Chain A
Amino acid sequence: MSERPILVVGGGPAGMEATRGLAAAGYRAVLVEKRDELGGTPVSGSYAALTPDFRDAGEAMAEMAATIQGDPLVDIRTGSRVTDASGQAGAFAVTVEGPGGSEQLEVGAVILATGFQHFDPGRETQQYGYYEYDDVLTLVDLERMLKTGQVLVPSTGKPPERLCFIQCVGSRDRQIGNEYCSKVCCGVAAKESIEVRKLVPDCRVFVFYIDMRMYGYWEPQIYWVSQEQHHVNYIKGIATQITRTKDGRLLVRGEDTTMGRPMEVPMDMVVLSVGMEPSPGTIEMAGVFGLALNKYRFIDTLGGALDTVTTSVPGIFACGAATGPADLEDSVSSAAAAAMKAIGVVRRAALAGST
């Protein structure tokens, strides 16, 4: 008996990498993506350049998609959703609803790569006035702006003279419930700070932070570069409040903790470094497949540090930001691990069936 195909849910970087890995090993894959195009959040969120290497996000995602599009082992179903699942490791029956209607598929294993969504800074608190002030943006809003090649203050239409990032918005916060570090926001802010300085060389850029978390190569790749070559100012101490000055600028109030002094500094634009939360798709798929979620409602993985992809249901694996905050490097690495484990399930099932 031959191996059943493996279902991959989610066509972002993790899902595409998992699919590519399955096909490269000679296994059949069905990739189900609810949006009409592949590329995941880097595409739907209009990212300009990827962190940390500044690659054009659209190009990079298209390149990943090209590795699986047209592959005879890969069945890509965009505009489609998984609505029901039953069975067990080696023999799952899933219902996929797509543009052509509803269809039942037999698959041997499942990989969930359903990703994250950006924290909504107006959801829990209006602390920073995101919905009040036009000139308070998120990393994602600025990314969209960078993609147009112009950084302009929304309220004036002029380039900013002073712009700051506020880190850890919606992360590391017991009151909001997101106690985790979202991992990528420090790096993304540093990357965007460089891009702002390149596009608007006269703009002074500040980053207000608690800790700059630049693990591994991100330290020299983006953090040091932003400070040493692009003269971005890093200031330890998170802003608490944004108000408006009489001349219509934003006034950022906080404390400079290394000086132990209060600060009230004017800005033209404030960028909130919003973190990650589980996407609606992640929570929905956990329901369809009966998977346990962790306390933050990401998909729970059982193997600790040494197995980042095994879920509470045998034969179903999760990767990328569906299991918690993850950057691209984490996402494609865990996708490959999930592909390998899924192959193990269908291959072993086939071997058992043939004896």
Chain B
Amino acid sequence: MALHPNVDPDKILEKAHHVQDGMDISGHWNRMFEQRVIRDYTPELLDKVTALSGGESLGWCYQCAQCVPVCPVDAVGSYGPRKIFRRTQTGADLFASPDLWQCTTCMNCLRVCPKEVDMIQIMPAVREQAVLAGNVPDELQKAFENTSSYGNPLGESPKKRAAWTTRSKAPVPLMKEKKRAELLWFVECYPSYHPRGIDASLALARVLNHLGVDFGILGNDERCSCDSQRLAGEVGLFEECAEHNIKQLQRYQTERVLVTDPHALNAFRREYPRLGGEFETIHYTTFLADRMAELGMSRPLGVKVTFHDPCYLGRHHGEYDAPRRMLRAIPGVELLEMGRCRENSYCCGGGGGGMWLDGFMSDHVNMRLSENRVVEAVETGADVLAVCCPLEVSRFEDAVKSQGCEGKLVVKDIIELVVEAMGPDNDS
């Protein structure tokens, strides 16, 4: 913060940063030392954004503010799409601003925007420039590097990508051996490596076998679909991963690709085709919703369940019903809706790179998005928060702990509830 030349910094009683008795009281009063009068606007900063391919629509904002009340980040901070336009117009360089990393690309702003200002295009376009310039929050950079080195953002060994299958009672065939299968299951990173993701993968493997589905996985030949890295600005890395995955998929004969992760669904449906990878792709909830009666679910669960719509399944791809149809088909499940559901569903905070920005975000929000969501889930009186995106289980489980809701709410993937209702696995 620049001080007026007549101000002697040593005589300022309110320091720019001051900690008193362990409490940080920096900032607020110091505002009076900032220049209050706006001497000029900064159309050139706006031009920098709108000149980018994908950045054009930021310049269309007419400040109606419909985006702000539905922005999940604004609900816990002071970031809002409308404010991005205004701040850019009044001197904030988005390329260097903390605002650049807060958008989760959840798309709720675009849903209500009368001008179609498209943050799903704007953010990756500007972030790409920041990435090229090396201005990336450290933890996000780490996720990029892990993806680049190991093919997954968790930094796990690519040789162990299929290791989870050894724990599966139900066979999980590899495409390498099978060569052709009706359904190629693209497992993705968190379902392959994260302990809670693996729980869901094991459950899905059991269900697919029970249904007699002819399927296979890429195993260690699979890499991250990389859609979230793309949205976080790492376009080069995305293309590298995408080209690898497309090449792998093209080696085999398959009718459809089945995904566990809605972010992979987005990559396969919207991004891979322009790189030559045309695959009919379906989310596991859409695939299973019609076949629930075949699962012989004989054990009523006796639970109240509320469901969190993943942004990339619901708003981005219009699938709101399949997960609900699955839940309603499970015996002993009472479905309770949260206030913010379906089209207006709240974001877990994991999308668009948010998965790898929790530390960074903690400086800008008063609670995590996942925590805000868990509080809402508890308010419904549900015992279970059901999810169907692999980023969510761990995020919401952490939030349940941090909000002191342990014992009140458990987080489960829908597929976990399905196998619970199927009873113990005695197949093998």
Q: Check: A174 CB closer than 8 A to any chain B CB.
A: yes
- In Å, the complex CA distance between A173 and B114 comes to 4
- Are A175 and B116 interface neighbours, CB within 8 A? yes
- Are B80 and A255 interface neighbours, CB within 8 A? yes
Q: Shortest Cβ distance from A122 into chain B, in angstroms?
A: 15
Q: Is the interface of B mostly helix, strand, loop or mixed?
A: loop
- In Å, the complex CA distance between A255 and B83 comes to 11
Q: Check: B276 CB closer than 8 A to any chain A CB.
A: no
Interface size on B, as a range, is 20 to 34
Give the contact stretch, choosing among B37-45, B57-65, B91-99, B368-376.
Answer: B57-65
- Are A254 and B66 interface neighbours, CB within 8 A? yes
Chain B residues whose C-beta falls within 8 Å of the C-beta of A174 in the assembled complex = 114-116
Q: Shortest Cβ distance from A239 into chain B, in angstroms?
A: 8
Q: Per a CB cutoff under 8 Å, which of B65, B78, B80 touches A238? A: B65
Chain B residues whose C-beta falls within 8 Å of the C-beta of A255 in the assembled complex = 65, 68-69, 74, 80, 82
> In the complex, how many residues of chain A place their beta carbon closer than 8 angstroms to a beta carbon of chain B?
20
Q: Check: B112 CB closer than 8 A to any chain A CB.
A: yes
- Are B116 and A262 interface neighbours, CB within 8 A? no
- In Å, the complex CA distance between A175 and B113 comes to 8
Task: Take A127-B112, A172-B114, A174-B116 as given contacts and tell me if A257 and B66 are in contact as well, using a CB distance cutoff of 8 Å.
Answer: no
- Are A262 and B74 interface neighbours, CB within 8 A? yes
- Are B115 and A254 interface neighbours, CB within 8 A? no
- For A253, the closest partner residue in chain B by CB is B69
- Are B65 and A237 interface neighbours, CB within 8 A? yes
Q: Check: A210 CB closer than 8 A to any chain B CB.
A: yes
Chain B residues whose C-beta falls within 8 Å of the C-beta of A172 in the assembled complex = 62, 114
Q: Check: B125 CB closer than 8 A to any chain A CB.
A: no
Task: Take A238-B66, A241-B344 as given contacts and tell me if A257 and B116 are in contact as well, using a CB distance cutoff of 8 Å.
Answer: no
- For B115, the closest partner residue in chain A by CB is A174
Give 1 or 0 for each of B154-195: 1 = CB within 8 Å of chain A CB. 000000000000000000000000000000000000000000
- For B339, the closest partner residue in chain A by CB is A243
Q: Shortest Cβ distance from A18 into chain B, in angstroms?
A: 34
- Are A175 and B69 interface neighbours, CB within 8 A? no
- For A209, the closest partner residue in chain B by CB is B64
Q: Shortest Cβ distance from B4 into chain A, in angstroms?
A: 25
Chain B residues whose C-beta falls within 8 Å of the C-beta of A243 in the assembled complex = 339
Contacting residues of chain A (241-260) with chain B, CB-CB under 8 angstroms = 241, 243, 253-255, 257, 260
- Are A254 and B116 interface neighbours, CB within 8 A? no
- In Å, the complex CA distance between A172 and B64 comes to 10
Q: Check: A150 CB closer than 8 A to any chain B CB.
A: no
- Are A210 and B64 interface neighbours, CB within 8 A? yes
Chain B interface (Cβ < 8 Å from any Cβ of A): 62-70, 74-75, 78, 80, 82-83, 112-116, 339, 344
* 14 CB < 8 A contacts A-B: A172-B114, A174-B114, A175-B113, A237-B64, A238-B64, A239-B69, A240-B70, A254-B68, A255-B65, A255-B69, A255-B74, A260-B78, A260-B83, A262-B68
* In the A-B complex, the 9 residue pairs with the closest CB atoms: A255-B68, A173-B114, A255-B65, A210-B64, A240-B66, A240-B69, A237-B65, A238-B64, A253-B69
11 further contact pairs, Cβ within 8 A, besides A168-B114, A237-B65: A172-B114, A174-B114, A175-B114, A175-B116, A210-B63, A210-B65, A238-B66, A239-B66, A240-B70, A241-B344, A255-B69
